[in-house]
Structure 1
Amino acid sequence: MERGTKDSDSGSDKTKGAMNIEGYPVKGLSIAGHETCVMFPTLKLAFDIGRFPQQAISHDFLCISHAHMDHIGGLPMYVATRGLFSMKPPTIIVPKCIKKDVEQLFEVHRRMDQSELNHNLIGLDVGEEFYLRKDLKVRAFQTYHAIPSQITYTITAPEIAFTGDTTSDFMIDQNNTDVLRSRILVMESTFLDNSVSVEDARVYGHTHLSEIISHAERFENKAILLIHFSARYRLEEIQQAVSALPLPLAGRVFALTEGF
């Protein structure tokens, strides 16, 4: 399959209907304020859990970017459902600053549900790393959102970076050079047009598409997957905005539009 195509003929249910970007099947749903979960089925890795889309159950590793409900709301159900089907406890990476709160969240659900909710919870601070398995390592990078947030990304070269929600400040952070060189960058572009100004986008802790265009020369990624579009946009508007991107972005930027 070529970059950005639909892998609809895959023989595996886990990758059926996925986008194929730089050799990786990618599935998910990301609508600002509603739900974000981006899945890499062949890596068994998901970024954020949204309301827990059923397809996420097969992913052994989950990286949470921050604690807004549209990114973390389905976490207990994700763990509980894996337990229901006798699957191995998942490994969950969260920002260290919310780790104690997430532990308490699970304790509350254990008391109410009388279930074990087995999982391996890891808290990472900016710059810290953790091996999910021998060939898959996660490192945390700084992002800039309305609440504590950080990038988590997998390393093989590195291969994949995921920003979660952040202002454009992450693009100019000198400590984030690897993120802008990753093979695939998954990043938000919540606002696309003049209906919301760049200044307002920053107040909300988000990135405007015009800022991505302004910093286009900084992106050395082979492919960029834009996510987290505002629900105010129609599918046609998202597709038009992406197709109109100038060089050097044109041809290597894709949009996750499931649900629009």
Structure 2
Amino acid sequence: MERGTKDSDSGSDKTKGAMNIEGYPVKGLSIAGHETCVMFPTLKLAFDIGRFPQQAISHDFLCISHAHMDHIGGLPMYVATRGLFSMKPPTIIVPKCIKKDVEQLFEVHRRMDQSELNHNLIGLDVGEEFYLRKDLKVRAFQTYHAIPSQGYVVYSIKQKLKQEYVGLSGNEIKNLKSSGVESTFLDNSVSVEDARVYGHTHLSEIISHAERFENKAILLIHFSARYRLEEIQQAVSALPLPLAGRVFALTEGF
């Protein structure tokens, strides 16, 4: 493979095949135990890197939730490939508790590969924020898994308030945003208790707390590979109010 440049901004297929959720194109794969990478092309922001799907190369920012291989395994390849195409070093955000381990991971690959692997690595604790750009920041929040993990809230910083938001409080505006939620298990083949043992979420838990979701849209990810596409689609289409009509499922790869 020859070294060259890659134009990540030109290409008409940057958002081709993406779901459109509240005005944001969303692409990616999320299959429990296999790989997870959820991409927001217009923000150039991805969450987790799984096996490094090629489309992730154009994303300048990457947030890692935890260190299981199906979420972080493609990290060195992501950085190396961007370097191969002379793209700017990416900004990678990880839980602060694994930052040193990730630094050592890159050092090992530098020794083996004899490459620079340039990147900007940021460790965040729960509640801490980082500005990706002057108009975009992330805040880490607590999640619960078998190993240390966290999620991220993304904030768009704008100087002018849209007319539809005039008169609303900060919390009310925040609640209009979309969110991503894991839903690994869908049916009684796995109980809620068993799902919790492995640090995963059952769809019935989301349904039971439906009134707490004030977001305009909810993206379900990380389904178990035991399910067929039709089963996932049927489960989502059968969701009761107030979830019905505002829940999307990331099913690429099923």
Q: TM-score, normalised by structure 1?
A: 0.86
Give the Cα separation in 1 of the matches to 2:24 and 2:2.
Answer: 10
Deviations 1:206-226 (A, max 9, x none): 000000000000000000000
Give the direction of change, closer, same or farther, for the CA distance of 1:249–1:193 in structure 2 (3 Å limit): same
Q: Report the alpha carbon displacement of residue 181 of structure 1 after superposing the two structures with TM.
A: 2.6
Q: Where in structure 1 are there 5+ consecutive unaligned residues?
A: 165-174
SS of match in other structure, 1:201: helix
Deviations 1:225-256 (A, max 9, x none): 00000000000000000000000000000100
Contact 1:91 1:119 in 2 (8 A): yes
Give the Cα separation in 2 of the matches to 1:208 and 1:144.
Answer: 13
Contact 2:125 2:140 in 1 (8 A): yes
Q: Report the alpha carbon displacement of residue 202 of structure 1 after superposing the two structures with TM.
A: 0.4
Contact 1:189 1:208 in 2 (8 A): yes
Contact 1:4 1:19 in 2 (8 A): no
Runs of 4+ residues over 6 Å off in structure 1: 1-11, 151-155, 159-164, 175-180
Give the Cα separation in 2 of the matches to 1:4 and 1:182.
Answer: 42
Deviations 1:164-212 (A, max 9, x none): 9xxxxxxxxxx99999935111110000000000000000100000000
Root-mean-square deviation (Å): 7.1
Greater C-alpha radius of gyration: 2
Q: Report the alpha carbon displacement of residue 12 of structure 1 after superposing the two structures with TM.
A: 2.2
Give the Cα separation in 2 of the matches to 1:114 and 1:202.
Answer: 42
Give the Cα separation in 2 of the matches to 1:77 and 1:44.
Answer: 17
Contact 1:27 1:40 in 2 (8 A): yes
Q: Where in structure 2 are there 5+ consecutive unaligned residues?
A: none
Contact 2:91 2:120 in 1 (8 A): yes
Q: TM-score, normalised by structure 2?
A: 0.88
Deviations 1:34-70 (A, max 9, x none): 0000000000000000100000000000000000000
Give the Cα separation in 2 of the matches to 1:152 and 1:78.
Answer: 21
Give the direction of change, closer, same or farther, for the CA distance of 1:73–1:3 in structure 2 (3 Å limit): closer
Give the direction of change, closer, same or farther, for the CA distance of 1:92–1:176 in structure 2 (3 Å limit): farther
Give the Cα separation in 1 of the matches to 2:184 and 2:165.
Answer: 15
Give the direction of change, closer, same or farther, for the CA distance of 1:232–1:179 in structure 2 (3 Å limit): farther
SS of match in other structure, 1:233: coil
Contact 1:7 1:18 in 2 (8 A): no
Give the direction of change, closer, same or farther, for the CA distance of 1:72–1:177 in structure 2 (3 Å limit): farther
SS of match in other structure, 2:112: helix
Give the Cα separation in 2 of the matches to 1:3 and 1:103.
Answer: 25
Give the direction of change, closer, same or farther, for the CA distance of 1:202–1:250 in structure 2 (3 Å limit): same
Give the Cα separation in 2 of the matches to 1:12 and 1:42.
Answer: 12
User: Quick check: 3-12 or 212-221, which moved more?
Assistant: 3-12
Contact 2:63 2:92 in 1 (8 A): yes
Give the direction of change, closer, same or farther, for the CA distance of 1:75–1:177 in structure 2 (3 Å limit): farther
Where relative contact order (Cα < 8 A, 6+ residues apart) is larger, the structure is 2
Give the Cα separation in 1 of the matches to 2:3 and 2:243.
Answer: 14
Aligned residue in 2 for 1:85? 85
Give the direction of change, closer, same or farther, for the CA distance of 1:72–1:153 in structure 2 (3 Å limit): farther
Contact 1:79 1:117 in 2 (8 A): yes
Give the Cα separation in 2 of the matches to 1:97 and 1:177.
Answer: 29
Give the direction of change, closer, same or farther, for the CA distance of 1:126–1:9 in structure 2 (3 Å limit): closer
Deviations 1:103-159 (A, max 9, x none): 00000000000000000000000000000000110100001110000177777xxx9
Using the aligned pairs only, state the percent identity: 91
SS of match in other structure, 1:177: helix
Q: Report the alpha carbon displacement of residue 162 of structure 1 after superposing the two structures with TM.
A: 23
Contact 1:180 1:218 in 2 (8 A): no
Give the Cα separation in 2 of the matches to 1:5 and 1:253.
Answer: 38
Q: Report the alpha carbon displacement of residue 13 of structure 1 after superposing the two structures with TM.
A: 1.4
